[in-house]
Amino acid sequence: MAETIIKAEYSDIMQKSYIDYSMSVITARAVPDVRDGLKPVQRRVLYAMDQLGLNYDKPHRKSARIVGDAMGKYHPHGDSSIYETLVVMEQDFKKGMALVDGHGNFGSIEGDSAAAMRYTEARLKKFTQDVYLKDLDKNVVDFVPNFDETEKEPSVLPVRVPNVLINGAEGIAVGMTTSIPTHNLIEVINAVEAYMDNEKITTEELMEYMPGPDFSTGGRVVNKSDLPDIYATGTGKIKLRGDVVFEPGKRKTDKDKLVITSIPYTMIGAGIGKFISDVVDLVENKKLQDITDVSNESSKEGIRIVLELKKNADIKKIENTLYKKTRLEDTFGVNMLTIADGRPEVLGLKDIIRHNVDFQYEINTRKYQTLLKKEYENKEIKEGLIRACDIIDLIIEILRGCTSKKQAKDCLISGNIEGIKFKSEQSKKDAAKLHFTENQANAILELRLYKLIGLEIEALEKEYEETLARIAQYEDILGSKRAMKKAIKKDLEAIKKEYGIARLTVIEDAEAAVYEEPKIVEQEVVFIMDKFGYAKTIDKAAFERNSETVFAENKYVITCMNTDKICIFTDKGNLHQIKVLDIPLTRVKDKGTPVDNLSNYSSSDEEIIYLCEATRLIHKMFLFVSRNGMMKLVNGNEFEASKRTIASTKLADNDLLLNICATDATTDGNEQIISSQIVVLQSADGYFIKFPLSEIPEKKKGAIGVRGIKLSASDHLEDVYLIPGDADITIDYRGKELSLKKLKLSKRDGKGTKVRT
Where in the sequence numbering do the catalytic residues fall? Answer: 119
Phi-psi region at 744: left, alpha or beta (left = phi > 0; alpha = psi -120 to 50) = beta
Angle, CA of 514, 239 and 234, to the nearest 5°: 150
Cβ neighbours of residue 598 under 8 Å, at least 6 residues apart? 535, 578, 582, 583
CA distance 185 to 209: 11
CA distance 60 to 48: 14
Contact of 66 with 101, CB cutoff 8 Å: no
Radius of gyration of the chain (CA): 41
Contact of 97 with 167, CB cutoff 8 Å: yes
What is the DSSP pairing of strand 220-221 with strand 506-507? Answer: parallel
Contact of 152 with 136, CB cutoff 8 Å: no
* Through-space distance between the first and last CA atoms of the chain, rounded to whole angstroms: 80
CA distance 693 to 351: 71
Dihedrals phi, psi of 169, to nearest 5 degrees: -165, 145
In this structure, the chain runs to a length of 757
Q: What are the distances in angstroms from CA 584 to CA 31, 320, 345, 520, 564?
A: 48, 24, 52, 15, 14
CA distance 70 to 88: 16
CA 487 to chain centre: 38
Please spell the DSSP secondary structure of 2-47, one letter per residue.
---PPP--HHHHHHHHHHHHHHHHIIIIIS-BTTT---HHHHHHHH
| CB hemisphere CA count around 281 (13 angstroms) | 15
Q: What are the distances in angstroms from CA 5 to CA 9, 13, 15?
A: 13, 15, 20
Contact of 131 with 115, CB cutoff 8 Å: no
**Position 245: which residue type?**
V
CA distance 291 to 255: 10
**Position 361: which residue type?**
Y
